[in-house]
Structure 1
Amino acid sequence: MRANPGTDVIVVGAGPTGMLLAGDLAATGLSVTVIERRPHESSNMTRAFGVHARTLELLDARGLADELVTTGTLITSLRLFRRLSLDLTRLPSRFPYLLITPQYEVERLLERRALSTGVTFRYDTELTGLSQTTDSVTAEIADADGARSTLHARYLVGADGVRSAVRTSLGLPFPGRSVIRSIVLADVRLTEEPEGLLTVNGANDAFAFIAPFGDGWYRVMGWNRKRQVSDREPVGLDEVREIARLALGTDHGMHDPRWISRFHSDERQVPAYRTGRVFLAGDAAHVHSPAGGQGMNTGMQDAANLSWKLASVVKGQALDPEALLDSYHAERHPVGATVLRGSGGIVRLAMAHNPLQRAARSLISRFLSAVRPAAAKAMGMVSGIGIAYDAPRGAHRLTGRRAPDLQLAEGRLYELLRKGEFVLVAPEGETPAAPAAPDSAVHAHWSTNRRGALLVRPDGYIAWATDQ
């Protein structure tokens, strides 16, 4: 087994989570190697297809959002269970919608950025084991020809999905359970266009979801309570049509499928996102129901939270390195747990089949339709806009909250965040003594006569604030 030269960080997994993280780290000047077991040109017909507002904000802070938006369809309202309508245009974001676009479009932009910042990709390479000391991590890898070698790094991040080799190598449990068996996915063309851009309903022991990609193709997801079979059981277009007719009353003339698959949905979460010098992110750390389309989004938000912390520690800029690295788990593990509960609640409503359960679904739908603050909170959590982190006792009320895209004298906040640094916002001519502000912070000013100051982290959350 030969040894390879070291790198600052090894990222295992070249999905959206891994590539966003790798690109962020390399953009700060770190050396980063990505290991991916799939061939580079492997199939890109993937499950994820929705990019929420908060994820688009993070991509905006990397100069990628506007280009990604051109690849898909914008969903400005959600109609669920034929009664509940959620108006996404009310989201307080530059991106008040759900973007429907294939995961491979997200990966294309993130890979391009990662390559431009100097990330090294090793496709067709599998992690076979790892070990760590107090100051390094050693990854054992094997390429497609079976040649084995070791790669050394200061830190390693497992973003390698639900069957994570990193998590397995650490011996970590992945507690939880299977929620739904035999979910079918298909990309099809339709003869009859649905009335709304996004169609969701559950009825007659089935539920179905249809969303347009914007290029004539539609993503269909469905489940039939009376047909619970193994993931290995073949699935054809007739089965997809039948599920749609049961749940929606019509199959909209589905034809010419380009991809059909069957899978099951689990709810699981690893107890610890950090083990020494090894971290877990995305589906390697948490997996949940596809309801709400939050899987890919939550993983990319994990990456944005971890990347600046890891870069700060590796570059020797952190005042308390261990506390900063531990804050990744402290902030993101509760978010993962919330997503598990929320997506699980949506899918259980969709699966409601007895009169009591359906009455409860109807009551919840009417409540959210009538009570605007409750609907806003629900949209905020699903879109990611409403996610906030716990602040220390006595901190300003804004600490830990997402920073909106403020219009500043120097331009939009999220354009300034493209530098990958903290942004300190204050009145013109003032430089407040923000206790957590690094020397490299970008200084910006209000475009109005507003008082007070904000220190915004590289991931767009407020680290410190004052009204003075």
Structure 2
Amino acid sequence: MSVIVVGAGPTGLMLAGDLAAAGVPVTILERRVQESNLTRAFAVHARTMELLDMRGLTDGLIAQGLQVPEVRPHIQGRELIFNMRHPESRFPYILVLQQARTEAALEERARGLGVEIVRGAEVAGLDQDGDGVTLTLADGHTERADYVVGCDGAHSAVRRLLSVGFSGRSYDTRIVLADVLLKADLPLAVNPFIGRDGAALLPPYGEGWFRATIWDRTRQGVPIEEPVGIEEVRDALLRITGRDLELAEMRWSTRFLSERRQARRYRASRVFLAGDAAHVHSPLGAQGMSTGIQDAANLSWKLAAAHHGWAPPWLLDTYESERHPVGRTVLRLTDLLRRLSEAPAPVRLIRPYVAPAIINHPRVSESVRLTLSGLGISYALPAGLADSPLAGTRIPDLPLVIDGHATRLYEHLRDGRFALLDASVQSDEPGRPWQDRLRTLRPSAPLLLGQATTVLVRPDGYAAWTATYPSPGQIAQALGQWCGPA
């Protein structure tokens, strides 16, 4: 079995690296001849950091980025504090890092695992049958694989050729992105400023550099193709923030129209959609890259299971059933943030008084924190599988003591296998017949997960099944359901 990934952005690189690590032959086709210098994404959220940690990538990324523990919205002169110090994660912050650096780490990993990246390969045709998928390139060449994954962005050729609807709409708002050097003193936080003339999002890169995402109410008639000048950015920041941020330098900028769209389906037989090919939304909330990387982590182990011949018949369908609702939630949240920023005049009058009450409400702030960070994501069980406590929820990076050595769970997920945490002190090893796709861990300390003594952890770090002192037969039954025939 082989897989073609279309698109060499963060989603495609993550997916291809995972597949290669699992022994699946994989090739990336990328339309661009040169690597893009477009770096819209600036944030890696906590759950995405956890997934990257499961691949041994976080140390290098942390060394290049800035750990930002707060979001400080400034709403027409009133400053609020929104805490992102996640107590349930090893990454209690937003890592602010240019997308290009995240891509570079993912590409280095993929190439190191043998992934071929073919540039200048534009997909112009797609046909699939019961045995595989044939892609026709713009130069007339064809490529064939058992499965294809479209990770080729908002204007996805794969999605268009599948005739999959991309429902939603374009916002009639022009967004400016720019990397700017500011001399003014701003707190170590993601700093959204919401004023009467628009909104500006200013996360710090360090050493005075910030990524500016600006919606300027007074500049909505400017053509998209018009270059962004430093004076335009300086003037917009002054009016929106209400203060002189002392803009000294600008090294990169672009102007674009934002959209709110989601593919109606994430799977069409042997073809899948992931990342921006499946969902696009407002940049407020910085959800795009993290959501795409999480798509890849969800799909990769399922395709690997199909390659190795043990995937249960329902497994590939769970990619859409699990990730489509997540994409819908992200679109709703980012749309809400956009509406708050672009409010009509009557709402702008009361916004400075109503917004703090909403943001400071404990249940609201906790829900938004868990959604933005991805730590609150959970998945429904497939139909027909026995339910159990915590099934479908994220399993934290549990500290473990195994054979007298201190370790942690995510270190044991780096080979892409399931992990069976069994602290029930059984004499035999019911997981041995599945050892090619399962790692059995016997922690010498109790698991800190409610009353569970036994947890089957999926390769993407979510609970497949939990139990308290199960029999070997019960464990074997759960393994058979999730990991295929012994």
TM-score by length of 1: 0.92
Structure 1 residue 88: Cα displacement: 1.3
Does residue 221 of structure 1 match 2:213? yes
User: Match for residue 279 of structure 1?
Assistant: 272
SS in 1 for 2:332: helix
Structure 2 CA distance for aligned equivalents of residues 378 and 312 of structure 1:
34
User: Match for residue 459 of structure 1?
Assistant: 460
User: Match for residue 419 of structure 1?
Assistant: 415
Q: Which amino acid aligns with 1:32?
A: V
Does residue 383 of structure 1 match 2:380? no
From 236, 241, 245, give the equivalent of 1:248.
241
User: Match for residue 396 of structure 1?
Assistant: 388
Structure 1 residue 445: Cα displacement: 2.2
Q: Which amino acid aligns with 1:120?
A: E
The answer to whether the Cα contact below 8 Å between 2:389 and 2:467 also exists between their aligned partners in 1 is: no
Deviations 1:215-272, CA, capped at 9 Å, x for gaps: 4421111111122133112321111112211211124111321111101110000100
User: Match for residue 477 of structure 2?
Assistant: none
Does residue 345 of structure 1 match 2:336? yes
SS in 1 for 2:146: strand
Residues 103-114 of structure 1 mapped to structure 2, 5 A cutoff: 103-114=99-110
From 356, 375, 397, give the equivalent of 1:405.
397
The answer to whether the Cα contact below 8 Å between 1:17 and 1:159 also exists between their aligned partners in 2 is: yes
Deviations 1:264-309, CA, capped at 9 Å, x for gaps: 1100001000001000000000001111100000000000000000
Structure 1 CA distance for aligned equivalents of residues 317 and 369 of structure 2:
29
Structure 1 residue 437: Cα displacement: 6.9
The answer to whether the Cα contact below 8 Å between 2:22 and 2:415 also exists between their aligned partners in 1 is: no
The answer to whether the Cα contact below 8 Å between 1:453 and 1:466 also exists between their aligned partners in 2 is: yes
Q: Which amino acid aligns with 1:333?
A: H
Q: Which amino acid aligns with 2:293?
A: M
User: Match for residue 478 of structure 2?
Assistant: none
User: Match for residue 261 of structure 2?
Assistant: 268
Structure 1 vs Structure 2 CA RMSD: 2.1
Structure 1 residue 367: Cα displacement: 3.4
Structure 1 residue 148: Cα displacement: 2.6
Structure 1 residue 351: Cα displacement: 1.6
Deviations 1:137-184, CA, capped at 9 Å, x for gaps: 011124xxxx43111100000000001010111122211111242111
Structure 1 CA distance for aligned equivalents of residues 306 and 422 of structure 2:
27
From 154, 173, 198, give the equivalent of 1:181.
173
SS in 1 for 2:134: strand
Structure 2 CA distance for aligned equivalents of residues 239 and 84 of structure 1:
27
Q: What 5-or-longer segments of structure 2 have no aligned partner?
A: 470-486
The answer to whether the Cα contact below 8 Å between 2:7 and 2:152 also exists between their aligned partners in 1 is: yes
Q: Which amino acid aligns with 2:340?
A: L
Does residue 308 of structure 1 match 2:296? no
Report the count of equivalent residues.
Answer: 454
Structure 1 residue 352: Cα displacement: 2.1
- Identity, in percent, stands at 45
Structure 2 CA distance for aligned equivalents of residues 131 and 357 of structure 1:
51
Structure 2 CA distance for aligned equivalents of residues 20 and 215 of structure 1:
29
Shift in alpha-carbon separation, 1:401–1:358, aligned structure 2, 3 A: farther
SS in 2 for 1:403: coil
SS in 1 for 2:125: strand
The answer to whether the Cα contact below 8 Å between 1:91 and 1:379 also exists between their aligned partners in 2 is: no
Q: Which amino acid aligns with 2:250?
A: P
Shift in alpha-carbon separation, 1:447–1:230, aligned structure 2, 3 A: farther
The answer to whether the Cα contact below 8 Å between 2:128 and 2:270 also exists between their aligned partners in 1 is: yes
User: Match for residue 4 of structure 1?
Assistant: none
User: Match for residue 49 of structure 1?
Assistant: 42
Does residue 164 of structure 1 match 2:156? yes
Shift in alpha-carbon separation, 1:211–1:57, aligned structure 2, 3 A: same
Residues 48-127 of structure 1 mapped to structure 2, 5 A cutoff: 48-80=41-73, 81=75, 82-127=78-123
Which stretch of structure 1 is more off in the superposition, 93-102 or 443-452? 443-452
The answer to whether the Cα contact below 8 Å between 1:389 and 1:400 also exists between their aligned partners in 2 is: yes
The answer to whether the Cα contact below 8 Å between 1:428 and 1:446 also exists between their aligned partners in 2 is: no
Does residue 237 of structure 1 match 2:230? yes
TM-score by length of 2: 0.89
Structure 1 residue 432: Cα displacement: 7.6
Structure 1 residue 364: Cα displacement: 4.0
Structure 1 CA distance for aligned equivalents of residues 12 and 463 of structure 2:
24
Structure 1 residue 37: Cα displacement: 1.1
The answer to whether the Cα contact below 8 Å between 1:432 and 1:453 also exists between their aligned partners in 2 is: no
Structure 2 CA distance for aligned equivalents of residues 358 and 34 of structure 1:
51
